[in-house]
Structure 1
Amino acid sequence: MTINLLVVEPDQSVRDQLRFHLHKNQIALSVLYSAAQLVSRVELECPSAILLRAEQPMIEAREALRQLRLAGYDMPIFVQSTSDEIVDKIVAFELGADDYIVDPVDPHELTARIKRAVQRCNRTLCDAPEIREKVSFGSYQIDFATRRLLKNGCEISLRSGEFALLKLFASNPMRILTRSMVNSQLGRAESQKASLDVAVCRLRGVIEADPSAPKFIQTLRGRGYMFVPSPESPPAHGARESASFAGHREFGERGTGAV
């Protein structure tokens, strides 16, 4: 699985070194020079992980980190800095950082940390079904043990792929699932965008009263999908029921002002 890493790094030489090493390790790289545009950029790309440069006074980086977590983004975020001060590390973790990396860092170690964090994030998506045998939403009930979908007690026929997709969504209510996460959990290739679109469309046709205005499986523009078991619940910050932005990155570097 290709990891899409968004790097916030003003130093071109550092970006070049990262691009050279990460490319060899199947990590696609896109860049920003400043944390000021990070939130808006994430809304468009929804990366697998973020490597955020934070140097004193760290105001922009900390504010961007805070806003991302408040908006509901839960991808791994690594803060990279030359500061080894305990207070800087504590503040970063309190704001939602998953890791704090002090320069200099070996590129092999950095790669290992990124891969491990993304793998762990993807694995947690399917934990819930093993704990709960049944999940209810609206007038529906999913029985994970028998792999059945019931509506008001009557069974509704689902293809195996449709059930797998519904199981993934229902097991992660009110959580943003990026295309990358969904494809990874279902064993799909990253390039199978059309296949995922068709699968979601078919599933909506089964469970939604109006598939053109979905209530349960909502599309968050530029971010992915969210399963809302109680449609009266407010969607995540910035959620919109519209076609999601299909961000695609080639290996290498591109982005706002990328060199």
Structure 2
Amino acid sequence: MKKVLIADDEKELVELLSLYLEKEYELFKAYDGSMALDILQSNNIDIAVIDIMMPNIDGYQLIKRIREKFNIPVIMLSAKGEYSDRILGLELGADDYVTKPFNPLEIAARIKAQLRRYYKFNENTKEKVEIIEFGTLRLDKATYVLYKNNEEVALTSTEYKILLLLMSSPGRVFTKKQIFEQVWEETFYGDDNSIMVHMSKLREKIEEDSKKPIYIKTIRGLGYKFMENLNNV
């Protein structure tokens, strides 16, 4: 049974979500950021549902702590409807973002979708153990770890999937639609900023200068590609 952490200072909301999830998952409940962090450090949590506005450690700080040590899907909850808040959550490493109020059935569906993608992705990458290397980057598909100059780089699960897609086919241009549908496994209905945010964050982690990228190039009007011949950059 998969382990789900629900962290929100609204106890009524936590209990409401628990009613919809307790039959399918082992639940861990936290009512502030510190409690959530303690649970994460002492249990093998499979996915976390985290509220932004929590005492002690807020959701933004908590997601940063999670990404320092864990590579699990994270769904952020917020009463804030501003687009900038959603972008910040994604930049910090959230895999999904839901604005309050919401239908608990939607959260249940999103949890199931995130877990399905995460474990299906891991099973697929286990089929063939290999290392992809370009320049100072080394992507280990067996351990799902990226190294830059032989030092481990912390990636979110979404960032890892995007990088694996690009590095596995260097020189190929992937449209936003192709990236979205292969990584998120959902139908792409139009241009939103999710892919751009993840690409920007990924470049900050792998490029020497994210403003002048040598690995991930933007092909205007088309999409992105990973450079296969770095000597010609």
Q: TM-score range by the shorter chain?
A: 0.5 to 0.7
Residue 202 (structure 1) aligns with: none
CA offsets 1:26-65 (integer angstroms, 9 cap, x no match): 1221111101233332110121100101128996211110
- Unaligned 5+ runs, structure 1: 136-168, 176-259
Residue 116 (structure 1) aligns with: 113
Mapped contact 1:125–1:172 kept (Cα < 8 A): no
Q: How does 1:77-88 map to 2 (within 5 A)?
A: 77-88=74-85
Residue 31 (structure 1) aligns with: 29
3-state DSSP class of the match of 2:75? strand
Query: Cα RMSD over matched residues?
Result: 2.7
Change beyond 3 A, Cα 1:114–1:28: same
After TM superposition, the score normalised by the length of structure 2 is: 0.53
Mapped contact 1:55–1:83 kept (Cα < 8 A): no
**Counterpart code for 1:65:** I
Q: Does 1:104 align with 2:101?
A: yes
Residue 5 (structure 1) aligns with: 4
CA offsets 1:109-156 (integer angstroms, 9 cap, x no match): 111110110111111113335555x67xxxxxxxxxxxxxxxxxxxxx
Residue 63 (structure 2) aligns with: 65
Mapped contact 1:5–1:50 kept (Cα < 8 A): yes
Aligned partners of 2:80 and 2:110: how far apart in 1?
A: 19
3-state DSSP class of the match of 1:18? helix
Change beyond 3 A, Cα 1:95–1:172: same
Aligned partners of 1:59 and 1:170: how far apart in 2?
A: 33
Aligned partners of 1:37 and 1:14: how far apart in 2?
A: 17
CA offsets 1:154-193 (integer angstroms, 9 cap, x no match): xxxxxxxxxxxxxxx9723549xxxxxxxxxxxxxxxxxx
CA offsets 1:68-108 (integer angstroms, 9 cap, x no match): 1022x111111101111011101100000011100111111
Aligned partners of 2:107 and 2:54: how far apart in 1?
A: 22
**Counterpart code for 2:49:** L
Greater RCO, 1 or 2 (C-alpha within 8 Å, sep 6+): 1
Q: How does 1:137-176 map to 2 (within 5 A)?
A: 171-172=142-143, 174=145
Q: How does 1:200-219 map to 2 (within 5 A)?
A: none
After TM superposition, the score normalised by the length of structure 1 is: 0.48
- Unaligned 5+ runs, structure 2: 132-139, 147-233
Give the number of the structure whose alpha-carbon radius of gyration is greater: 1
Aligned partners of 1:81 and 1:41: how far apart in 2?
A: 21
CA drift at 1:7: 0.8
**Counterpart code for 1:40:** D
Aligned partners of 1:78 and 1:53: how far apart in 2?
A: 9
Residue 19 (structure 2) aligns with: 20
Mapped contact 1:52–1:77 kept (Cα < 8 A): yes
**Counterpart code for 2:72:** M
3-state DSSP class of the match of 1:5? strand
Mapped contact 1:128–1:172 kept (Cα < 8 A): no
CA drift at 1:6: 0.5
Residue 45 (structure 1) aligns with: 43
Number of aligned pairs?
Answer: 138
Q: Does 1:126 align with 2:97?
A: no
CA drift at 1:19: 1.4
CA offsets 1:195-230 (integer angstroms, 9 cap, x no match): xxxxxxxxxxxxxxxxxxxxxxxxxxxxxxxxxxxx
